[in-house]
Amino acid sequence: MGYINPLLKLPAASGLLRMPAEQRRAIALVLRELRDQANTEAEQAWRRRKGPMAAYWRAVSTYARHLAHALEQPKIGTATGEGNA
């Protein structure tokens, strides 16, 4: 991703990044699936003219993607742009 993940600015994000890599990968995989499913729900809601539900599902998709990306960071410093000297 070509931007600084806004979720990584929250204090709880460091807890995610301290998890063992294997656990982070497993959770990120589930979050990627959640993202795909939420996108599908958003498209269906949009086709049914249910704008608020489409927006809700699109937000779920975005948060799932941001969380998955955060979990895929190799270490704390690289996630926030810190420690890259």
Tell the residue number behind the tokens 């959640």, with chain if given. 34
Q: Tell whether 2 is covered by a domain.
A: no
How many domains is the chain partitioned into structurally? 1
**Predicted pLDDT at 5:** 82
Q: Whose structure tokens read 């070509």?
A: 2
- Say if 49 falls within a structural domain: yes
pLDDT score at 36: 98
The pLDDT value recorded for residue 45 is 98
85 in a domain, yes or no? no
Domain assignment present for residue 4? The answer is: no
At residue 2, the pLDDT reads: 67
The verdict on residue 1 lying in a domain is: no
Which amino acid would we find at residue 81? G
Q: Can you give the pLDDT at residue 6?
A: 83
Residues 6+ apart with CB under 8 A from 28: 67, 68, 69, 71, 72
Low-confidence residues of the chain, pLDDT below 70?
1-2, 75-85
pLDDT of residue 30: 98
pLDDT value at residue 17: 85
Asked if residue 84 is part of any domain, the answer here is no
